[in-house]
Structure 1
Amino acid sequence: MSIVCIGEMLIDFVCTDKDVGLVAGANYIKKSGGAPANVAATIAKLGGATQLLGAVGKDPFGQFLIDKVAQFGVDTSGVAQLSTPTTLAFVSLAENGEREFVFNRGADELYAISRPLADVLKPNDILHLGSATALLGGELGKAYQEITDFAQTQGNTICFDPNYRIDLWQGRDAEFKSLCEAYFAKADIVKVSDEELTFLSGSQDYAEGCAYIHQYGVKMVLVTLGAAGCFISQNGENRIIPAYKISAVDTTGAGDSFIGALLYKIAELPKTEAFYADSIDECIAFAGKVSGLVCSKIGAMSALPSLQEVEAMHFEVHSSK
């Protein structure tokens, strides 16, 4: 079983000047990124099978990205290299690890699936939709919808992460919500942050917010709560799986590594009538460990741990008191 991830690959230029923002920041380091690429790299680093679909430019940045994810063991045969420059993102970090983004969009928008869908997505594969840019439209948006409709027809498990970026959707909130609702109606698993849940549902109550998403037929809703852990809603039951104590340095890629690690664990399990309910707490706890380790270092992919590193690390549960 493979996990197929579709969406942007990009370069994160991370400002190393803390608490000054992108206006005053002067020093940057180059990091590989893009939410789907981060998820795929997480899965491959842990030892799982994964394929990445997306587009980069025929430039040094594009080649760097292909080489980088391939080093993790990601199948990059579905990555196209186009004449349009590679997409770039500029990121500043505050002392608490929170971020400020500016996107310079390029080749990712022009990705189109060039092979028969049956060759790209096998019946037992998991499809992960976690692109921050695919809902903006363009050829990538068409490919996103095309493979999702095929996956739904074929019976693949579909995971959707809205990955809301305020800078990409200024003045278009209603459009973003409408697009998310269309993908909720096709997804089995939805992962959102607590801020995204409130934004999309209009409720600050986790259970109410999850009920809003469940009404579209979603089987499992995961709400990441940072240091408070993960709120899970499934089969009419709600609970919080606590996080682990970490010293946050950079939260870039935290959510991506969380869902990547979760899908890695789910891919090892048989899909039962209860939709992984018997094992999901253990899967979420594992994903929390991976995400915590990623937050303790700078960079999304460069901070990814191996399975051996996760298993060798001692973790202490974060107390909510």
Structure 2
Amino acid sequence: MYDLCAIGDALVDFIPAPQYTPENPVYQCEAGGTVANLLTAGSKLGLNTVFVGKIGADCMGELVRNKMQGCGVSMEGCVMDPMHFTTQSFVSLGENGERSFSFCRSFGADIWLKEDEIPMKVLEQSSMLGFSGMCMTDDPVRQATWTLLRAAKRINYRDKLWQNEKEMIHIMRETLSYVTLYKSSEEEAFLLTGTEDLRKAAKIICGFGCRDIIITLGQKGAYFYSGGKDGLIPAYRVEAVDTTGAGDSFFAAVLHQIVQRGGIEKITGTDYSDILKFANGVGALATTKRGGIKGSPTLREAEEFLKLHNNEISS
């Protein structure tokens, strides 16, 4: 039995190495991807996780597969593609650790997952299903994702991967009736709803069929809306080195806390303050190391961080 099954992208991130300069750019290779980061972060926190997706049958694919398995993620739903290369992302970092992405993906393996390659038995063995907006940008992975969502009864926006904003908004809104817990950044939520008011945005997203809403606000913390209750939980102050995968570690921590409380059906609006305090700590700690998978903390590391920093939440 799995706590979390997630479909989407597992890829290779090329991130600036410590000796990187604009004149002499040097990159280091790390396994990553929204869903890969989420699952490995969840596994490190103690969740039983399983990946559904496609990676290339190449050296980079082996790197990703071995890294994820090494973190405890089941690769039962992983398809190795001999025709397409493992998707690649080049990550540029600003002085404050914020990222920008360039993708090598038009022939990347992750978008070539087909409906008949979906292991439905894995879904049947899972308590929660997660997906990323990355798997809704192109067919055939888009149709494969719809197959999973419809069988079962969260979303990243990367402008360079969609044809245009209008397409993204239409497709993402269509998925929301299948979503119980929605999580995105404030930029993505505002784009999806057309308003920059957090409470209004959350209510609009709920109107599309979601029950609970979480919106991350970077250094300001995280906002939740559930059952008419809402709140903004401040972030922890840390020295950010690399924010790659921090949001995925944050969401993995949210799901860990939901499992600890007996599942999403038992969660109410009063639970989210404590859930987000824990998740903010995990997300903050993830920014202090380089790499999405490598940077995600273990449960012990997260608990030690929270003990040390519980009284240092920024206001």
Identity of aligned residues (%): 31
Matches within 5 A, 1:64-143: 64-83=63-82, 84-105=84-105, 106-112=108-114, 114=116, 118-122=120-124, 125-132=127-134, 134-143=135-144
**2:22 is equivalent to residue 10 of structure 1:** no
Q: Which amino acid aligns with 2:313?
A: H
CA–CA distance in structure 1, aligned partners of residues 8 and 214 of structure 2 = 21
The root-mean-square deviation of aligned C-alpha atoms, in Å, is 2.0
Superposed CA offset, 1:21-74 (max 9, x none):
7xx662100011010000000011111100001111111000010000000100
CA–CA distance in structure 1, aligned partners of residues 264 and 295 of structure 2 = 33
Provide structure 1 residue ranges, at least 5 long, that are not aligned to the other structure: 153-159
Normalised TM-score (structure 2): 0.92
Normalised TM-score (structure 1): 0.90
Q: Which residue of 2 aligns with 1:34?
A: 33
Aligned partner (choices 159, 171, 179) of residue 166 of structure 1: 159
Judge conservation of contact 1:15–1:93 (CA < 8 Å) in 2. Answer: yes
Q: Compared with structure 1, are the counterparts of its residues 124 and 275 closer, same or farther at alpha carbon in structure 2 (3 Å cutoff)?
A: farther
SS of equivalent to 2:284: helix
Matches within 5 A, 1:234-313: 234-271=226-263, 275-313=267-305
Give the superposition deviation at 1:116: 7.0
Superposed CA offset, 1:162-203 (max 9, x none):
21012212x510000001101111101111111112211111
SS of equivalent to 1:2: strand
CA–CA distance in structure 2, aligned partners of residues 75 and 289 of structure 1 = 26
SS of equivalent to 1:64: helix
Q: Which amino acid aligns with 1:2?
A: D
Aligned length: 308
Q: Which residue of 1 aligns with 2:313?
A: 318
Q: Compared with structure 1, are the counterparts of its residues 123 and 277 closer, same or farther at alpha carbon in structure 2 (3 Å cutoff)?
A: farther
Superposed CA offset, 1:250-302 (max 9, x none):
11111111111111221222247664434322221111111111011111111
Provide structure 2 residue ranges, at least 5 long, that are not aligned to the other structure: none
Q: Which amino acid aligns with 2:129?
A: L
SS of equivalent to 1:68: helix
Judge conservation of contact 1:249–1:295 (CA < 8 Å) in 2. Answer: yes
Q: Which amino acid aligns with 2:219?
A: A
SS of equivalent to 1:302: helix
Superposed CA offset, 1:82-105 (max 9, x none):
111110001110111111211111
Judge conservation of contact 1:228–1:318 (CA < 8 Å) in 2. Answer: no
Q: Which residue of 2 aligns with 1:205?
A: 197
Give the superposition deviation at 1:115: 6.3
CA–CA distance in structure 1, aligned partners of residues 257 and 147 of structure 2 = 26
CA–CA distance in structure 1, aligned partners of residues 19 and 199 of structure 2 = 36
**2:170 is equivalent to residue 178 of structure 1:** yes
CA–CA distance in structure 2, aligned partners of residues 102 and 109 of structure 1 = 16
